[in-house]
Structures are given as C-alpha cells and as structure tokens.
Structure 1
C-alpha cells in the first residue's frame, strides 16, 4: 500500500523543513512494536474477524499524495470560484513526511495489510462537487472491496448487536455511507477489524447526537443527565456491589448507551490503555460542547462568532482523528501526543473538519425544524451580513484553519521527526482529507446553497 503522505503543506515553512538534515532520529519509536501487556476486558459477542481480500487504490499517474496532478499550476491565492488551490510540499519537507529510508527502517513505516491481495473492484466515482473556493485536497476513491465489507459488518452490528436504530431509519443509515467514510479517512488501516474500530465509534457517536441532541427525539432539556449516564458506557462507573447492577442494567436501556458500550468494548481490544484514556478525554470534550450548544438553544441565544468557534472546538470531530494511530495499528506515545504542539495540530484539524460539516450541511439544517446554529448563521446575525456573504466568510474561516493546521503540522514534523509523530501527522491529514471527501460526495444528505 502506498504511504499516504501528509497533505500538501504551506510553503512558508520550507526553511524549517530544510533544516531537517540536522535532526537525528534518536527518539524514534518503532510503529506497531511491543505493547504493554493488558488484562482481558469484557467483550460483547460479535461477528468473528473475517479476513477479506482488499487492495489499496493507486494514485493516478503523475499525481502527488493528497494533491492533484503534479503538472497542474498552483495558484497562490484562493477566490470564491470553482477552482481550489492544491499546494505541493518542498522536497525537504516531503522527505520529512515520507519518513526514514534505508536498511533496517522498514518497521518504521505503515503496517502492512493482512488481507491477501485481490483484483480491484470496478470503481464508480462518487458524485458531488466541492464548495467553490474551499481549500481542500482530493483523495483517491476508497477501496471498493473494503467499503463493501465495512458497510456489511457495520450494518450487522448496528441492527443485530446493539439495535442502534429502528427499522424506519434504515434508509438514513444506508444513506450515511459510513463504510465509505471510514475507508476514505483511514487509508493506512492494516485490517478490516482496525477499520471497524472507527466505524462503530462513529455510528455510536451519531446515535447519541441524533437521539439525545437532534431531531430524532433529542432535546436540550435534561441533556446533561443523559450525556453523563451515556459517558459511563465509555468511562466505567466504579461503585459498590450494591449499586453496580443498576448501572450495568442501564447500559442496555437505550440505543446510544448500547452503541457506546459495545463500540468501546471492541475498541479496547485493539487499543492500548493510554489510547483508550485519550479517547475518553476527547469524548468528554465532545459532550461538554453538546451542553454549551444546548444551553444556547434553551435560552434562544446566538453567540458571538468567537464564542461559537470556541463551542465548536469541543462539539466537533476531534475524537475521530485522535484515534488515527489505534486504527493504524500502532501507538503515538502518550508523552508525544500530549505535547502542546501536537495538541494544537489535532485541535486545528478538528476545528477545520467541523466547519466543513457546517458548510456542507447548511441547506439541510435550514430545512430542519427550529433554528440550527452553524457558522454561516452566526456570522450573518452577529456581523449583519447577507446569507451569501456570511457563507463565503465561513469558507474563509475554514481556509484559515486549514492553512494553520498544515503550517503547524509542518513545523512539528520538522521539530520532532520521530517516526511515530510523522506517521500520526500523516494519518490526521488523511482523516481531514477523507472527511471532506465524504461530505462532498454524500449527496444523499447534503446539497450546496445557490450562492455562485
């Protein structure tokens, strides 16, 4: 499988990248190496792992990883037209992102897939067009064989194991295309089982959002209690023997808690304890963001733009890219994950991808009952702009976040070129690109406003 290099980064950091030769990889961590022995954890019964053939999509001839054809002109300024800039990294920076080479370094690169190779399935390019002027990077079509298998397994899990949705929601579940989503976001996952980690968690998070927060029975009233009890499915309650049975029984009481519990039990089988604790922390952040948005809904408050962006830093996709190493079959050590520079990169990635959701779901939310806060709506009200101008300003905000993400990722790659750091940065960038691909191509859920 080709190494999915980090998305093209801004050239403003080429000087830092050129100094890469002065660094020594003395702090390198072999990816996929020894994991701490950990006790067996409760595991819900599920379909046994079934290795299936899968092949990695090859980039088109003459293309660069994460970008367009290498011969394409690269514009230096983005405007609100149908063309979006694709930037190429400098050679030295590209070397950083590619990682070490030479005798004895093979173990520092991507984990190889366990599925035997198979002839590629015929590709049918997904439909959809990007938002004009939105800064993004095209990705290859997700591996169709993997998409089909993940889609089959996740529906079996959602229907048979956790009853995540009633029969009348089946078309919406299918239209979500979660298999295509997760395969696009995790091109380095070594097995289908690793992809299923992310897929179950994604479905569980959406069950909570739909049933607790949104218009499938959700309400801001009493949300804090529901979220706290659901969070105990991720972060177990440690209580007395007298009261533990009531808590255990509660974990089966509704679809969100059943989904959270099952998805987490599968996750801890392949994740390390520090990865699991990291994920719980980011889910607590997510739930705090849900509560802030609910409080505004209860009081009919429209926040300032900066306040909205603060809420969106918590109510966002952050739990998804933060597990990129778990899904990839290796671990970014806790001390490296906790570095302020890495936390900034992850936060910017989560913020940019969440504004992508605001932009692509804009018309869908306008058509839903009640008022849904999203960045264009908040900008329109707080800055007294027209709907069109507010939407285009939100595109600019997204682009600024993306450029900041790429610049900070490049700086961190140059400053700390440990192989696990480089691979994690590549994985986060692949998630960012895959997330945009899914939003752009999911025409079942999303359509663009008529602003161009």
Structure 2
C-alpha cells in the first residue's frame, strides 16, 4: 500500500482560522489537552501536539481534502485511537478470560456474540479487564449504597447490563477510573429514568411529562423562592431516578466545565423531548411515518453520551467549536446511527415484551407495506447510510478545522460509536438476533 503522503492535519489551520475565527482557535489551542500529554501519532499521521505552536500562515486558505488516512483515523478504534490513546493505557491488548455466565459480575471477557449481518461497523479490542472490574465494582456500590437505585430482585438485570464494560469500551482515553465513573453514573441514571418512567419497570406514557420535568430539575436546578426551595430539594430524593440524576450530576459537575455542563443539560432536554414524542404516539396508537420516527429518534437517542467524551477524556472542546453547525451535524449523525444499532439489536427483546414496541424495523415494515424481514434489512441499510454520512462529515470537519481539541473530540465520538456497537453485539444477556438470514 503506498504511503498516504504528508498529513493534512496541520496545513489546513490557516483555512480553519479564516473559517472559524482566530479568537476561537486561540482558545482551542489553550484548552486542547486539558493538561494531558499529547496523543501519540499513528503511521503516516503525525498528530499536532497540543502544546505546539500553530504553523506559520500559508498563502492559501483553502482547506485540504480529507485523506484516506484521516478517514481511517475517524472511523474508530481499528488503528489509531484504541488503547494507545492515553499513556495510562496498556500497550498490549488484554488477554481474554473465559466467558462468564449471563448476568454474573463483570469479570473476564463476555461471549463474543454475533454482529448483525451486513451492518457497517468497526471491531474493537476487548476493553481493559482491570478497568472493567473496577468500574463495575464502583458503579454497583454507588447504585446500592449511595442512591438506593433498585430493589434486590432487579440485581441480576443490573449486572447483566454490564455497564462497566460498556463505558470502558466507549472511553479508552479516560485518564482515570474516576473520569470513567462520570460517564458510567450518568448512563445508569439515564437508564433508570427510561425504565422506571417510560418502559420496563412500571413506566407509562400517562403523566410522563410531569415526571420527566421533575427529574430534569435534578440536572437543571430550580431557582425559586426560599419558601418553596426546600420542598423541591426534598423531591430530588423521592424516587430512584431523581436520586440517580441528582447524584450523577453532582459528580459530573466536579469534572466538567460550566460550558460542558450546560451542553449536557441541553442534550438531556432533547432526550426527554424524544421520550415525550414516543409516549404521545403510544397513547394515541399512532404509527409514525419513517421520517417522523427518525426525527423522534434524533432526540430520543444516545446523544448525551458521546457529547461528554471530552469531559471523560479530561480536556474540553471549546463551546464556540462545539456549537458550529458542522460539529452539531457530526454529533447528531453519531447519535442517530448508534440509536439505530439499539433498534436492531433489541428487536427480538422488544417483540417479546407486552404490547407493541416501536422501532425502526417495525415502522418501516408497517409504513412501507413490506415483510418484517424486509423491514429489518432496510433498517440495516438506514444505519449504514447514517454511519457513512457520520464518517464523511467528521473527516471533512477534521480537515477544515484541524485544531487539536476538535480532532481529539471527533476521534472520541468515533470511538464511542464503535464501543456502543461492541457492547450491543456482545451483550448476549440482553440481546439476540432475529432469524432473518
């Protein structure tokens, strides 16, 4: 294979300055590493050091076209961006242990599972078992001892979720276990709200708006009078979802900057709006058009998880760069693709549940008048189109704005996308594939 040639990551900086503003790029250089060492370069991809001075301006401001090497960089952890992302990570891949029984504590490697045939994805190495074990231990202690999250008879389901393995796979550049715990607590809290308010464990569309609004005040606090504030504060301890949101947010605020916290609140409001749309359709027994369903899923999706990848990585993508339309499109496409992954892997689980559960294969089959199998296979195509769009847009943005924090954030989102697929594929306690092949 020929050498990819000089990396485009530095030569486009003047073009980025013209496009995004010198003051934004100056701020990005200051905050690029968050005090962490620079990321290692990959073959043919010399990565600009966060501490290095920006290159001298060139005579042209035209951004370079994305190279194949850059596309490989952004496609996820099949190359640069795996265990070598941070000096604290081990250089060799951990040796897999024997598979454990479903629902058992998260030690050792999971059963491999099978990827959805034809699904576009990137394989990832097994997550560091030492970190998996420690995150799993800490998250269960938090759930049981700090927030009293679930009754004893839900314990097997909590263990079967395997959230420690999930988060370690999605955030290989986290500098410490405590950084990983920030994401893990928020993930568990979000699932508690979904289960207890919306779905599996007593959830209902009836009255959901009021419950979600009260829970959201654990993330975006109420500012009211001294007379009424104590009642609100007491309400944050009134049920497991609010206790989890409140505690997880407190830990998150200890690591996040004010702009990162505000970004997360915004994305959680998006999530809750998506919950409400799905609940409204459930109450009225409305099957949305496919495009309507995809619009709902852009809100009711995983977006709050990859959007905090910089907080978990111990650095910050400056607010001005995060707010750019191109970055917002990349994040949205990543969230949409990962959520369709959930629709595909949870398909048989949802069909086995009581009532009719809407997911993309079901909606496509119903609205387009095709078989269940054809609806499922078309949903795979939709996912693949979203993934290709995500990678193309991320590569174009990286070439146009090669600021270290932008490049690291884009890489972190790509790694999160791949780690999310890995968890769905390998979590055979929760998921199995339909017999469509």
Whether the TM-score (by the shorter chain) exceeds 0.5 is yes
Give ranges in structure 1 of 5+ residues lacking alignment.
Answer: 1-13, 36-58, 65-87, 99-108
Aligned to 2:256: 271
Post-superposition Cα deviations, 1:17-60, rounded to whole Å, max 9, x if no partner, equal: 8696343487352434479xxxxxxxxxxxxxxxxxxxxxxx9x
Distance 1:183 1:89, change over 3 A: farther
Q: Which residue of 2 aligns with 1:195?
A: 180
Task: Confirm whether residue 327 of structure 1 aligns to residue 317 of structure 2.
Answer: no
- In structure 1, the partner of 2:189 is 204
In structure 2, the partner of 1:42 is: none
Count of residues paired in the alignment: 379
The answer for the alignment partner of 2:202 in structure 1 is 217
Residue 346 of structure 2 is matched in structure 1 by 361
Distance 1:203 1:92, change over 3 A: closer
Cα distance change on mapping 1:96 and 1:446 into 2, 3 Å:
closer
Q: RMSD between aligned alpha carbons?
A: 2.9
- Paired with 2:340 and 2:153, the residues of 1 have a C-alpha distance of 30
Which of 391, 397, 403 in structure 1 is aligned with 2:382? 397
Do the aligned partners of residues 356 and 148 (structure 1) sit closer, same or farther apart at CA in structure 2, a change above 3 Å counting? same
For residues 379 and 417 of structure 2, the distance between their equivalents in structure 1, rounded to whole angstroms, comes to 17
Aligned residues of 1:18 and 1:93 also touching (Cα < 8 A): no
Distance 1:121 1:450 in 2: 32
In 1, Cα distance between equivalents of 2:325 and 2:11: 24
Q: Helix, strand or coil: the match of 2:11?
A: helix
Measured after TM superposition, the shift of residue 363 of structure 1 is 0.2
CA offsets per residue over residues 118-167 of structure 1, 9 Å max, x none? 99565455320100000000000000000000000000000110011111
SS of structure 1 residue aligned to 2:295: helix
- State how far apart, in whole Å, the 1-side matches of 2:67 and 2:161 are: 33
Which of 229, 240, 253 aligns to 2:214? It is 229
CA distance in 1, matches of 2:90, 2:346: 38
* 2:323 pairs with 1:341: no
SS in structure 1 at match of 2:120: coil
Q: Determine whether 1:139 maps to 2:124.
A: yes
Distance 1:408 1:225, change over 3 A: same
Spell out, residue by residue over 1:371-400, the C-alpha distance to the aligned partner (whole angstroms, 9 max, x if none).
100000000100001000000000000000
Look up the SS of the partner of 1:414 in the other structure.
Answer: helix
Give the equivalent residue in structure 1 for 2:395: 410
TM-score by length of 2: 0.81
Whole-Å Cα distance in 1 between the matches of residues 424 and 430 of structure 2? 9
Deviations 1:39-94 (A, max 9, x none): xxxxxxxxxxxxxxxxxxxx9xx9x9xxxxxxxxxxxxxxxxxxxxxxx9624656
Equivalent in 410, 421, 430 of residue 436 of structure 1: 421
Hey, what does 1:243 align to over in structure 2? 228
The reply to whether residue 90 of structure 1 matches residue 68 of structure 2 is yes
8 Å Cα contact 2:9/2:402 also seen in 1: no
Partner in structure 2 of residue 170 of structure 1: 155
Shift of 1:97: 9.6
Tell me the residue number matched to 1:72: none
Query: Cα distance 1:312–1:182, how it changes in 2: closer, same or farther (>3 A)?
Result: same
Moved more, 26-35 or 378-387: 26-35
SS at match of 1:21: coil
Which residue number in structure 1 is paired with residue 32 of structure 2? 31
| C-alpha spacing 1:118/1:192, structure 2 compared with 1 (3 Å) | farther
Question: Aligned pair in 2 of structure 1 residues 149, 96: CA closer, same or farther (>3 Å)?
Answer: closer
- Matched residue, 2:11: 21
- Taking a change above 3 Å as real, the CA distance of residues 159 and 92 of structure 1, as seen in their structure-2 partners, is closer
